[in-house]
Structure 1
Amino acid sequence: MAIDDAPRSTSLALTRRHRPAVVLDQLRERVREDESRACAVPRLERRIADLLGKPAAAMFPSGAMAQQVAMRIHADRRGIRTIAFHPLCHLEQHERKGYAIVHGLTGLPVCDRYSLIQLTDLEAVAEPVAALLLELPQRDIGGRLPEWEDLVAQVDWTREHRVASHLDGARLWEAQPYYRRSHAEIAALFDSVYVSLYKGLLGISGALLAGDTEFVEHARIWRDRLGGNTSSAWPMALAGERGLDEVLPRMPEFYQRARSLAAVLGGIPGVRVVPEPPQTPLFHVHMAADPDRVLDHATLLAEKTGIRLFGRVAPAAHPLSCSFEVSVSEQFDDIEDAEIRDHVGELMLAAG
């Protein structure tokens, strides 16, 4: 369910979807007159590899392609077709079973839908597994993160059982401030790492897959087989570099802003924040209100106030409740927590 576009001055939803004119201006500022179009992609690949502490990285047109390729390589290396993941991971929820239909893999969900993976869940796995995919943070349950010691224990389990460990780090940029460890220290736990250029970094599109040199060279072959060659994707690379230079350094600030905003939203009757407090700049707001009424009144409020707080709501198990996602980034610079609180409070009164 989506809100139709409405006249507005402030959009807090879909933060990565910058207007094309703004994006083009940002790219124009980053292009040097004497620079070849062939420079941007390999330069970005080297920067990401160094940032993650990996020997190599390859750019992909999408995270969906990158992660399916990673799972395929890990499965082929071990001669095992089963991969394990959270039941709400991106591969399972949003990619039309590509891992199974395109690559012949079998998915094994390893925990309850609304819980984080625990070591006990992995210890209960009773069949051979080629790879374990861990998503940091787990977006569909509120951007939740395991504690560092739990994460290390889960990766230790993969080593003990000769299972590859893969990080879905689409939002690794947002997870890093919580752990207070470098990106490279987090990535060092994993055999392969995928990161996004367009989610937290607010780029156009694209992803990178990092790992050892042999793994990345093999990934490039599979990327080209699937029609994903990125040698001419210099606009995506330049936008990604802009994110590394200007957005990534602000992640600790966005994290603290999310915590302060969640604190005021959680005080509204009928509103609950998950998790409380947030562990990343991303969190979910649950409302004791019918989702259709929330959408209707949100549209009216957007027309009245010029503020668009979210683009979609997710129905909950109870028919008179729903949730929406908040992802704090640079679009929150021009609005105060109190103004957002009043907006959500008015929405709750109208729809609840």
Structure 2
Amino acid sequence: MRPRGILLAPLLLLGACRPPAQPAPDREASLEAAARAAAASTPAALRGDFLEGFRMGARMVWEATTQRRVPWLPRMGEPGPAPLPEAARAMGVVAVDPGPRIEQDAATGFPIRFLDPAAGGFGPGEVAGFAWALAPVRERLCHPAPLPALPGGEAWKAWHPQGVLLSTPGLQVQVHLVGNALLWSWMGNGFPPQHAWRRAPDWLVPRALALRDQALWVATETHGAVALDLRTGLVVALQAGGVPAPESEARAREDQRKQEAAEDLRERPQRLARAGRGEPAAMLELAWAAEEPAEQAAWFRKAAEAGDAEGMYELGVRLYQGRGVAEDRREAREWFQRAARAGNPKAREVLAGLFKEP
């Protein structure tokens, strides 16, 4: 069985916007006048929060355009679920994940930040201030590409625990599910690989994947298909039902799995002999061929202790997730650091993404 690499990178929300015109010298005075005018109809008890929110929303637009970034778009969202009573929590009751929703504004291409005034903060004022500051520069900012369309049946590939490789003309995407993160890397038209990831709650656990219109489509068990923007990981489209079932792909993968298992069984005696002589490559082959997580983690540890950088990285992944070994994130960090010093690029990405190490 061949190893599948795991790549992790921070979720970036940078955009290529044309620089706006330089603001007028009296910008702050104009902001204050607009904020007070907008707050005039707000109840006195809420006026202070509204004014602060208005200033915050306007300055968010100014800062983003000055730094050539796509600004967040504040939008009033539905209030979240009410806090559970202590008695309910004691009985093990948990709040239900509301499921996916569109996270990118179709008209502007801005990522959306949903606001709930009941949770505190300056929701209504921030929305008003953002709209006021956006109006004069709106046409200078980037506009989104057309929304992605649902791929056809032949484009879908069944999910596989070792990851899935997707290809379209000029684009290749490798996808993995690691713990509570969906990770993907892609290479388009010969350019160097790029990486992204996002949290994977229950509604984002994949059963099939596809590519179309620069979006990664994820077919889920409970919420239809979700389209993620390749670059940012934002949810840009939802399809409630009608997702093709990739049954032929699933059968092909099962046949491949059986062939690989038979090959692993034939080669196991030789691999054990090589591992006994201290060959890290044989230890890695035994790890990837192992069906039980504990056995896999044990062989990765042997390879790591023998000085193999890939073994160090893979052991760190399993220690971080508690997969096949007891979860120990402190030891995981130590193995990631050793792997990075040994030249493993994936370990450096993990340190930067999970532990914020340069």
Q: TM-score, normalised by structure 1?
A: 0.24
With a CA cutoff of 8 Å and minimum separation of 6, indicate the structure with the bigger relative contact order.
1
Larger radius of gyration: 2
